[in-house]
């Protein structure tokens, strides 16, 4: 999408006003109340499901706490309480957060930040709670057990040992926020050192010269040598998987916030340039699932990538003077286009807010459906938008 086209649409947005976020509150509450009724039905069929993840064959798909997405729905409820100040949502958030606590000891995955910081982390931020604080600190120590000083990174996956030895995925940047928080809470430098080392190693090996990233880098755990550069959930190893680019943008914007290191800000802006100036980015700024899919424009979109990007751009806009207005205006336009084109009809789709996300197209998994993390980052983006207007 050309810079000229972006500027044109930003002009339209500015002319129409930015007040649409606050008008969504009643719609959000209506749909989430419907989701609660659908969850109740699902749990009668499968009591082990603690959180909705997506729709499968028109049926609400629930997951146990071990699933990497288990913390997002509780996070959605915390965000809705923060957005509306309706105590009903605080109580529901507490209810859906509690079953995830045992994951604080799960040392088999890097996803502890997704599971526990999106749930307990938001709970502790909005309604400070010593028990929540202790859970997040334990989860942070557990996550650090996956760090290799030889590689300089946290290991992401234990599975697929036939493909990778020490795989590190771009998604793992998102889990560093919990470690930075734990450092500030405990003053234990372990958390800071692990987070910074992981961010630096990822910056060195995941990214191409144009600011795009691979999905998976495999390392030799004995030497730290890069063995493979793959894009497992994208079109090809050398393609740019849309959600992966969004994870990187969000992750390095957050790293700059937490460290003040200019190299992270510069890297985040490089990623933003790749996304916003990409010729494959549609005029509505909702990316196709992979920027290099040859079937574009007849390829699935990924609303989750758009929501993550919008949230990241709101934060990034607060760190730079030169591009502040551009990033903020683009983020507002993404939210407006999500709102007008990709909202689920009230009382449908299991109570999810947004449709048309793509989880893992090569695996034929969650294609063009509602997915819980799209809702999460959309709500976060709405809150960031609201805070910037106050």
The residues carrying an active-site annotation are: 111, 171
- Measured CA to CA, the distance from residue 370 to residue 302 in angstroms comes to 10
- The CA distances from residue 135 to 22, 119, 384, in Å, are 33, 11, 26
How far apart are alpha carbons 97 and 70 in whole angstroms?
9
3-state DSSP percent of the chain in helix, strand and coil, to 5 = 55, 10, 30
- Angle, alpha carbons 22-24-27 (nearest 5°): 145
Q: Mutual orientation of helices 72-84 and 25-45 as an angle, nearest 10°?
A: 150
Q: Do residues 302 and 367 make contact, with C-beta atoms less than 8 angstroms apart?
A: no
Q: How far apart are CA 42 and CA 240, in angstroms?
A: 36
Instruction: Give the Cα-Cα-Cα angle 336, 340, 342 (nearest 5 degrees).
Output: 105
- Residue 233's nearest CA partner among 390, 367, 377, 75 is 367
Task: Using DSSP, state whether 18 is helix, strand or coil.
Answer: coil
């Amino acid at each position: 999408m050309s810079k000229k086209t972006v500027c044109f649409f930003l002009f339209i947005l500015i002319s129409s006003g930015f007040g649409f976020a606050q008008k969504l509150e009643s719609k959000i509450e209506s749909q989430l109340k419907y989701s609660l009724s659908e969850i109740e039905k699902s749990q009668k069929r499968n009591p082990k499901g603690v959180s909705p993840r997506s729709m499968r064959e028109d049926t609400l798909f629930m997951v146990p706490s071990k699933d990497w997405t288990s913390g997002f729905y509780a996070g959605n409820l915390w965000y809705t309480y923060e957005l509306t100040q309706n105590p009903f949502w605080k109580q529901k958030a507490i209810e859906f957060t509690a079953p995830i606590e045992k994951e604080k000891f799960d040392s088999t995955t890097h996803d502890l930040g997704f599971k526990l910081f999106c749930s307990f982390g938001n709970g502790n931020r909005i309604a400070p709670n010593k028990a929540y604080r202790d859970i997040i600190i334990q989860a942070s120590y557990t996550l650090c057990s996956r760090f290799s000083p030889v590689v300089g990174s946290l290991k992401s996956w234990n599975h697929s040992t036939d493909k990778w030895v020490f795989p590190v995925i771009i998604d793992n940047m998102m889990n560093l926020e919990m470690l930075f928080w734990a450092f500030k809470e405990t003053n234990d430098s372990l958390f800071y050192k692990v987070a910074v080392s992981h961010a630096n190693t990822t910056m060195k090996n995941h990214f191409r010269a144009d600011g795009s990233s691979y999905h998976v880098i495999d390392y030799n755990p004995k030497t730290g040598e890069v063995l493979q550069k793959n894009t497992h959930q994208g079109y090809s190893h050398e393609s740019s998987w849309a959600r992966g680019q969004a994870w990187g943008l969000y992750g390095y914007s957050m790293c700059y916030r937490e460290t003040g290191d200019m190299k992270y800000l510069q890297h985040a802006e490089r990623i933003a340039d790749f996304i916003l100036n990409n010729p494959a980015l549609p005029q509505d700024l909702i990316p196709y699932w992979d920027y290099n899919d040859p079937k574009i424009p007849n390829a699935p979109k990924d609303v989750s990538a758009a929501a993550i990007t919008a949230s990241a751009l709101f934060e990034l806009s607060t760190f730079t003077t030169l591009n502040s207005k551009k990033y903020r205006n683009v983020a507002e336009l993404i939210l407006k286009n999500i709102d007008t084109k990709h909202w689920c009809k009230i009382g449908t789709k299991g109570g999810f807010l947004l449709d048309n996300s793509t989880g893992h197209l090569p695996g034929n998994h969650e294609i063009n459906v509602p997915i819980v993390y799209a809702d999460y980052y959309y709500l976060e983006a709405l809150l960031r938008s609201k805070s910037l207007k106050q």
